Structure 1
């Protein structure tokens, strides 16, 4: 059986086609192709007839659906294995217990090959290898031959078509972006033209095409792209292009730069209308400290200040509001940004600062000398490099000078040495040094500062104010509470989540794409080992113990403490040494939900098994099973059967959710489903919910008279609770007339009839009886 798949090639990324070697197999009708598609996308796993019926026809199948499925499968067997004897067991497509299984490897199905190449491209992206990432994406895109599952009917195919189309579009966007990053704009333009033709309403693609055209000097063509999109949007949706595209069009028309320097882009600034000043929310005290330092340097008193905050806490925003534009006359301000490019150039950040601060012939001469000093140090630091640079800054600081270094921890080592030496100059010169850094950055340990301004998370009132500034329309209280909890007081996360909630772009379901990119960028500074542990924490719910993470990652607790220390220092995790809890819940959500679905299910299955093996709390095991969601196999169902009593007592709501999933798992054996569905009916009854359907399902199938009586009792009580007294009485009378239930149960049904008589037509009234007695709340039931 293991070799039956050899030579098979199933193609779903286009019209459904099947090949064995060089021979294409005739699949026939669209519904037969639909059955093959469902089985291929569950390759190696059992699919029940009921699942196939639902996949092909949804909630309203024809009366002949089961027979049709049988016919489709029989025909597919002959097509897939034409040499098989009619009475021999199939090897490629097998059946048993009302289920079917297609025995092919993932590499035999183009959808799985596509997803594997996407995963490979992500790994190359994380490693910074853009050429390898591009090659993987190009290989993934070559697998497509039209619309996924083209012409295949049924709700399952439609949902898969939507999912795969989104993945294809995301891959194509990233492919085009990579071409642009690598300077291959002509190739990007060709790819983007094809994409905008296929997706005429996707503004992101049009913006990328405009950018690529502008980069090649084809401004007129870029403007035509915008104008065409504007016309299409007006005709199709009655809207106009977004503000971002309109701004891009204006920049192309006026020939202005696309955006201000990175240090000028505030991460947590809320901008009002164009005439309004930029407003910073929740940082009044910190803003006051910086402005007092500015006034002091204008009066001749120097100082060095360090602004410390985790990514997204608003360091750049604070510097922007405090130090850009509104400074006393006579003060010069220079800005520099630490990044990978600046790190490669000796004195890179200092040069940025000095060049932006200096104007006039004499100051420009100082900058030219500083460039010479930097050039001399390219082949290696010279003994006089730091002294020469400090001396040039000393000459420039004869009048008030403010130097601002954003992300100083990413500056080159020579700049860091000069910055430390300049600290001493602030005692005698009107020189203000302001640097922003991430907490715990080892690069700046040797760089002193007179004052540290720490940016903590925003409080609840401040966070709410920021959300309302971004989304003035009132958000419903539940959504607002979730948004605040997810952001954890981080202004950047708050702003993006509020924008997403305001625009209705999917915050309720998954984090917006730009926020996913931002979180991944924030975590990129950590090692692969640290990111791996953070992902495990996210899969464990974002608030777990060291012992749990050690169990699922096979790491010793002392190793974990070392690995996650950078994340604690950076403020990604809280400081509690006994737990691994995310300070900002959205980070956990991004790590979890940006993981490919297949890998997500695999990890949750593995984590559930490991927690169960260690005897962990049953609710923690169930959290993993539900989070996947992980399809229940025989092993998981046996575990659930052994622990359902404990789970029901500790986490009844989770138990109900889990048992509902069991109820839908047609591949489980009848006895297991029967016992666990009975538990579902009991728990629904205990929680005051309608248990009629589940109790009725058990009662119709069990051969245990005690269990049948209990389920019929629960059905009757559910009807009674809903005011359906006649239906409750009918069940009680049926139980009494059959008389095959044990006497204790018959007594219960007699009491119920007595209780129901006042509510039944034509029945005399009866003395009042305790409802708790009638419903059996104090009667022990054998389970």
Structure 2
């Protein structure tokens, strides 16, 4: 049974949606039982979930009628499926031994992944994250469904962080970057995910892309939270900067180093102190903005002369 992306019941090649389950109340009963894995739900709790603080007269009898209708609709999907909704003392229990629910499979696979390492863990995390590709029950707008949706969202973010870290450790940089970015889309302030993004850029040698990603992160934190990213993100950023600068034997890297320093001086003076000096002093913050500006001017002047020299108009 599928809860993410919308309620679906699939059996024997037949798939039905929420409208085929007998209406809103039978559907909500099924959802309540599906979310309580292996746990009985008492009738009083179900009455509260269906009608809130204002249940109708004879609500318990009405509930029992809805359960009977739900069983018939499930039997219409697959013979015997309705018997999975079992009556227990004081309530109902959904027998999930013969039913696979996407949310529970996601949790099972995630738990298995935590007990593995390397490529095996990455594979299990990939399976788990493919299971919950949509939002939990997007068409249901009830407080208890909203609570379950928020809880699953928190779980999903945690698993994305775990998967990205596991993939990074295993050397799967594509997977690590993809899952970290997916985590950031869910929570733009997820520093674990930002750190993985920067680490992936550094290991691939995509230093400019990494610096752009850090600038994106820094601006977001500054604009929305009024602070800078935490020490984990900043530590990876410093290593990216060290990789950018090759002053002694790489003129292009020296130019990049100067551009990065000038950009940080202009956009974030506090961050500029993190940039190592290109003059060989080895002390962070030992900057000479005039030297950087002269280097940039010299490069632009050389480029201008070359371009003008190639221009047909120069003759």
Residue 251 to residue 27, structure 1, CA distance change in 2 (3 Å):
same
Q: Which residue of 2 aligns with 1:18?
A: 9
Match of 1:236 among 224, 246, 259: 224
Q: Distance in 2 between the 1:246 and 1:106 partners?
A: 49
Q: Which residue of 2 aligns with 1:570?
A: none
Residue 200 to residue 69, structure 1, CA distance change in 2 (3 Å):
farther
Equivalences for residues 393-432 of structure 1 within 5 A: none
Q: Which residue of 1 aligns with 2:36?
A: 42
Match of 2:102 among 110, 117, 122: 110
Equivalences for residues 164-175 of structure 1 within 5 A: 164-175=152-163
Q: Distance in 1 between the 2:125 and 2:78 partners?
A: 39
Q: Distance in 2 between the 1:210 and 1:193 partners?
A: 11
Equivalences for residues 205-216 of structure 1 within 5 A: 205-216=193-204
* Equivalent residues of 1:206, 1:229 under 8 A apart: yes
Moved over 6 A (4+): none
Q: Distance in 2 between the 1:39 and 1:33 partners?
A: 10
Q: Distance in 2 between the 1:34 and 1:238 partners?
A: 43
Q: Does 1:73 align with 2:67?
A: yes
Equivalences for residues 58-457 of structure 1 within 5 A: 60-64=52-56, 66=59, 69-70=63-64, 72-82=66-76, 91-95=83-87, 97-105=89-97, 108-125=100-117, 130-255=118-243
* Equivalent residues of 1:34, 1:154 under 8 A apart: no
Residue 35 to residue 131, structure 1, CA distance change in 2 (3 Å):
same
Residue 219 to residue 34, structure 1, CA distance change in 2 (3 Å):
farther
Equivalences for residues 686-705 of structure 1 within 5 A: none
Deviation at 1:216, TM superposition (A): 0.6
1:513-565 per-position Cα deviation (integer Å, ceiling 9, x unaligned) = xxxxxxxxxxxxxxxxxxxxxxxxxxxxxxxxxxxxxxxxxxxxxxxxxxxxx
Residue 248 to residue 84, structure 1, CA distance change in 2 (3 Å):
closer
Q: Distance in 2 between the 1:203 and 1:38 partners?
A: 34
Equivalences for residues 323-722 of structure 1 within 5 A: none
1:740-777 per-position Cα deviation (integer Å, ceiling 9, x unaligned) = xxxxxxxxxxxxxxxxxxxxxxxxxxxxxxxxxxxxxx
Q: Distance in 1 between the 2:131 and 2:4 partners?
A: 7
Unaligned runs of 5+ in 2: 246-315
Q: Which residue of 1 aligns with 2:280?
A: none
1:59-114 per-position Cα deviation (integer Å, ceiling 9, x unaligned) = x52232836644543442232112899xx9x5232336541222331752222222
Residue 56 to residue 169, structure 1, CA distance change in 2 (3 Å):
farther
Residue 99 to residue 207, structure 1, CA distance change in 2 (3 Å):
same
Q: TM-score, normalised by structure 1?
A: 0.28
* Equivalent residues of 2:176, 2:200 under 8 A apart: yes
Whose RCO is larger (CA < 8 A, sep 6+)? 2
* Equivalent residues of 1:93, 1:102 under 8 A apart: yes
Q: Secondary structure at the match of 2:87?
A: strand
Q: Which residue of 2 aligns with 1:759?
A: none
Residue 254 to residue 173, structure 1, CA distance change in 2 (3 Å):
same
* Equivalent residues of 1:107, 1:113 under 8 A apart: no
Q: Distance in 2 between the 1:20 and 1:230 partners?
A: 49
Residue 212 to residue 36, structure 1, CA distance change in 2 (3 Å):
same
Aligned length: 239
Give the alignment's Cα RMSD to 1 decimal.
3.2
1:599-654 per-position Cα deviation (integer Å, ceiling 9, x unaligned) = xxxxxxxxxxxxxxxxxxxxxxxxxxxxxxxxxxxxxxxxxxxxxxxxxxxxxxxx
Residue 254 to residue 40, structure 1, CA distance change in 2 (3 Å):
same
Residue 180 to residue 93, structure 1, CA distance change in 2 (3 Å):
same
Residue 19 to residue 80, structure 1, CA distance change in 2 (3 Å):
same
Deviation at 1:153, TM superposition (A): 3.2
Deviation at 1:138, TM superposition (A): 1.6
* Equivalent residues of 1:93, 1:101 under 8 A apart: yes
Residue 253 to residue 83, structure 1, CA distance change in 2 (3 Å):
closer
Q: TM-score, normalised by structure 2?
A: 0.65
Q: Distance in 1 between the 2:169 and 2:200 partners?
A: 10
Residue 250 to residue 133, structure 1, CA distance change in 2 (3 Å):
closer
Residue 253 to residue 96, structure 1, CA distance change in 2 (3 Å):
closer
* Equivalent residues of 1:12, 1:148 under 8 A apart: yes
Deviation at 1:139, TM superposition (A): 1.6
Q: Which residue of 2 aligns with 1:772?
A: none
1:270-308 per-position Cα deviation (integer Å, ceiling 9, x unaligned) = xxxxxxxxxxxxxxxxxxxxxxxxxxxxxxxxxxxxxxx
Deviation at 1:152, TM superposition (A): 2.7
Q: Distance in 1 between the 2:125 and 2:88 partners?
A: 39
* Equivalent residues of 1:53, 1:61 under 8 A apart: no
